[in-house]
């Protein structure tokens, strides 16, 4: 599998070939400010001790405290976390929120842990990282396989260690523990706002057909939101594979089916597909919302979608980007498309710092205002420098970070 950090650096190279930046800035932005690795010992339910490897990468904080999620996944390693931290720095700059970029993770398959073990691991991560965290230093959030409950365990552990009573060190917490209205659905809803702001520029009509890879927080919410706005979700998948129904899937019923059957396969009225086949289905809009490196040089030529909205981080490799660009398939890059999540996380941090609680309508309206504006700025940049939306988004973000760093 290709190294996500090398891919991220290739993206940086492609973007800065279109618009160059000072050499000294390029050197600084190409490596993280800090990489931390910790061992997290967990006494398992069967009485044996297991040691897990945990990470936090702090890429850049020129625009504000490091910000970014924590991923629990068996394939997570330092290179993945480094790439994700770099993308977070750019993403926060794209959304123009006062945050830098960081990311965390643990190499673990959380499905193999009991709830007690999961809580011990989560608290262990917060304990091991406590020195570098804090509302003015580094503010983590959920990512793949981490939940509001995990954030509340981590925040609680951090408060015990630091003696601080602030709730503002972790975002994505449950509502009754300092969470923000609208955070759960923010990435999916923000993705919809970005899509809606850009679709007419690429002749994508309302009610178009949509294929979504991933049925977690992001994919699941996106499916419901697109459906509620009149779009037809013709295929969905999770890690075990997907289902297709060209007449449109009933997402609520599919969720129920997945809950009772443990997989999507067999959903009435649908046919089963692999994740590889799903990416090649004819459709108007393809939404990768699972993991990185899904569309590569190998399958980019077979993608039949007319438009791609990257809600996952890094689902398209740079080689595939090139191939899709040549084929005229527009891609809304992750650092714009999924920036609603970190935007509302930042609102949560702000509410915690001020002791406020905003309504869901307020949160969504503020997010929409930001995403509409930034989508327009990035589209205009892509036209001005005659490139794709990814390179345009990189250039806008790099300009903002470079300015904050005094270049
Ligand atoms: P999640 O853990 O809630 O869901 C992940 C989904 O992906 C699950 O349905 C899982 O079955 C599926 N999946 C895993 N491996 C797969 C594979 N090989 N093929 C197909 N599906 C697979 O995670 P999430 O929070 O929904 O995150 C999904 C993506 O969105 C990640 O790339 C994440 O970094 C990105 N993202 C998340 C947020 C957020 O707010 N949660 C914000 C921005 C970006």
Report, as an integer, the average pLDDT of 351-375.
98
Going by pLDDT thresholds of 50, 70 and 90, the confidence category of residue 251 is very high
Q: 115-129 and 148-162 helices cross at what angle (nearest 10)?
A: 40
In CATH, the number for domain 186-337 is 3.40.50.720
Q: Could you give the CA distance from residue 315 to residue 9 in angstroms, rounded to a whole number?
A: 15
Class level of CATH domain 33-177: alpha beta
Tell me, using a 6 A CB cutoff, whether residue 274 lines ligand 1.
no
Cα 136 to Cα 29, 99, 140, distances in angstroms = 21, 10, 12
Quick check: do 33-177 and 186-337 share a fold?
Answer: yes
Nearest atom (ligand 1) to Cα of 292: 32
Report, as an integer, the average pLDDT of 98-120.
98
Going by pLDDT thresholds of 50, 70 and 90, the confidence category of residue 369 is very high
Residue-wise pLDDT tens digits, 11-63: 999 999 999 999 999 999 999 999 999 999 999 999 999 999 999 999 999 99
Question: Is residue 79 scored above 80 in pLDDT?
Answer: yes
Going by pLDDT thresholds of 50, 70 and 90, the confidence category of residue 4 is very high
Nearest atom (ligand 1) to Cα of 314: 32
Instruction: Give residue 77's pLDDT.
Output: 96
Nearest Cα to Cα of residue 175 among 148, 150, 202: 148
Tell me, using a 6 A CB cutoff, whether residue 92 lines ligand 1.
no
Question: Is residue 403 scored above 70 in pLDDT?
Answer: yes
| Ligand 1 mean position, distance from CA 313 (Å) | 9
Residue-wise pLDDT tens digits, 192-212: 999 999 999 999 999 999 999
Look at the pTM and tell me if it is higher than 0.85: yes
As a whole number, the mean pLDDT across the chain is 97
103 annotated active-site: yes
| Ligand 1 mean position, distance from CA 384 (Å) | 33
Question: Is residue 2 scored above 90 in pLDDT?
Answer: no
The domain limits of the chain are 33-177, 186-337
Report, as an integer, the average pLDDT of 285-307.
97
Our measurement of the distance from residue 183's CA atom to the centroid of its chain's CA atoms, rounded to an integer in Å, reads 13
Nearest Cα to Cα of residue 125 among 60, 230, 55, 66: 55
Strand partners, 72: 106
Active-site residue among 67, 103, 173, 306?
103
| Ligand 1 mean position, distance from CA 341 (Å) | 13
Instruction: Give residue 1's pLDDT.
Output: 57
Question: Is residue 316 scored above 90 in pLDDT?
Answer: yes
Report, as an integer, the average pLDDT of 391-399.
98
- Share above pLDDT 70 across residues of the chain, in percent, rounded to a whole number: 100
> Which residue matches tokens 């190279």?
13
For 38-59, the three-class secondary structure string (H helix, E strand, C coil) is: EEEEEECCCCCEEEEEEEEEEE
């Amino acid at each position: 599998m290709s190294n996500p950090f090398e891919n991220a650096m290739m993206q940086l190279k492609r973007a800065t070939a279109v618009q160059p930046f000072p050499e000294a800035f390029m050197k600084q932005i190409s490596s993280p400010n800090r990489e931390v690795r910790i061992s997290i010992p967990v006494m398992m339910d069967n009485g044996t001790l297991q040691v897990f490897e945990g990470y936090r990468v702090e890429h850049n904080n020129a625009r504000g405290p490091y910000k970014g999620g924590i991923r629990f996944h068996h394939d997570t390693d330092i290179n993945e976390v480094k790439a994700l931290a770099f993308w977070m720095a750019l993403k926060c700059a794209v959304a123009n929120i006062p945050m830098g970029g960081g990311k965390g993770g643990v190499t673990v398959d959380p499905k193999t842990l009991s709830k007690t073990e999961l809580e011990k691991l989560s608290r262990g991560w917060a304990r091991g990282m406590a020195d570098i965290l804090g509302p003015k230093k580094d503010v983590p959030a959920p990512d793949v396989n981490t939940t509001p409950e995990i954030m509340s365990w981590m925040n609680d552990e951090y408060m015990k260690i630091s003696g601080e009573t602030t709730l503002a060190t972790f975002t994505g917490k449950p509502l009754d523990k300092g969470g923000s209205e609208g955070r759960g659905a923010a990435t999916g809803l923000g993705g919809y706002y970005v899509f809606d702001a850009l679709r007419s520029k690429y002749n994508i009509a309302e009610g178009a057909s949509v294929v979504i890879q991933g049925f977690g927080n992001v994919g699941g919410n996106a499916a419901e939101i697109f459906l509620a706005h009149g779009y037809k979700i013709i295929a969905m998948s999770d890690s075990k594979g997907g289902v297709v129904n060209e007449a449109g899937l009933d997402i609520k019923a599919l969720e129920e089916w997945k809950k009772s059957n443990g997989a999507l396969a067999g959903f009435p009225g649908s046919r089963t597909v692999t994740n590889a086949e799903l990416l090649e289905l004819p459709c108007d809009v393809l939404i990768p919302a699972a993991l990185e490196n899904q569309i590569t040089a190998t399958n980019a030529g077979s993608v039949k979608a007319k438009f791609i909205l990257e809600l996952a981080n890094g689902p398209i490799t740079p080689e595939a980007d090139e191939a899709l660009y040549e084929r005229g398939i527009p891609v809304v890059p992750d650092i714009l498309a999924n920036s609603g999540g970190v935007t509302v996380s930042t609102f949560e941090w702000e509410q915690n710092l001020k002791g406020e609680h905003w309504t869901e309508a307020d949160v969504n309206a503020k997010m929409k205002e930001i995403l509409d504006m930034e989508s327009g700025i990035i589209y205009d940049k892509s036209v001005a420098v005659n490139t794709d939306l990814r390179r345009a988004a990189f250039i806008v973000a790099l300009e903002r970070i470079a300015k904050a760093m005094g270049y």
